[in-house]
């Protein structure tokens, strides 16, 4: 069970990622920008390039779920089905594309995005 809690990363990295998630979520909430760039830069130092999009996606899922919970009354529910359909298509295409990328190309793309 303990292995599941830190996903094989070790407690120090898992704890760092948890604190980083809170910090970057707070940064984006306070300033409206910058949290993603900080998150990606730190993830690039801790994880292999192929794992970064997956981990970042899960962090975003938690962050956005928290934001949606807070802003529940203000959500535009009429556009949710279109957004969900686009997200499913994007996930399907992105997952096929991502596994075929050379890690060096992924690192260059990630570095370019951060800059």
Return the pLDDT at 78. Answer: 93
Return the pLDDT at 4. Answer: 54
Q: How many CB atoms lie within 10 A of CB 59?
A: 20
Domains identified in the chain, total number: 1
Predicted TM-score of the model (pTM):
0.64
Return the pLDDT at 85. Answer: 95
Q: How far is CA 54 from CA 30, 76, 77, in A?
A: 25, 27, 27
Residues of the chain predicted below pLDDT 70: 1-8
Show the tokens assigned to 44: 């690039």
Return the pLDDT at 3. Answer: 60
Return the pLDDT at 56. Answer: 83
Measured between alpha carbons, how far is 3 from 18 in angstroms, rounded to an integer? 16
Which residues form the domain of 86?
Answer: 2-114
pLDDT digit string, tens, across residues 47-75: 887 788 888 888 888 878 888 898 899 98
């Amino acid at each position: 069970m303990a292995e599941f809690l830190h996903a094989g990363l070790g407690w120090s990295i898992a704890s760092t990622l948890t604190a980083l998630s809170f910090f970057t979520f707070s940064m984006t909430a306070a300033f409206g920008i910058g949290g993603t760039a900080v998150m990606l830069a730190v993830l690039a130092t801790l994880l292999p390039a192929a794992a970064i999009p997956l981990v970042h996606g899960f962090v975003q899922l938690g962050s956005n779920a928290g934001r949606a919970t807070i802003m529940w009354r203000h959500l535009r529910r009429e556009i949710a089905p279109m957004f969900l359909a686009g997200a499913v298509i994007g996930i399907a295409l992105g997952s096929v594309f991502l596994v075929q990328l050379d890690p060096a190309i992924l690192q260059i793309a990630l570095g370019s995005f951060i800059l």
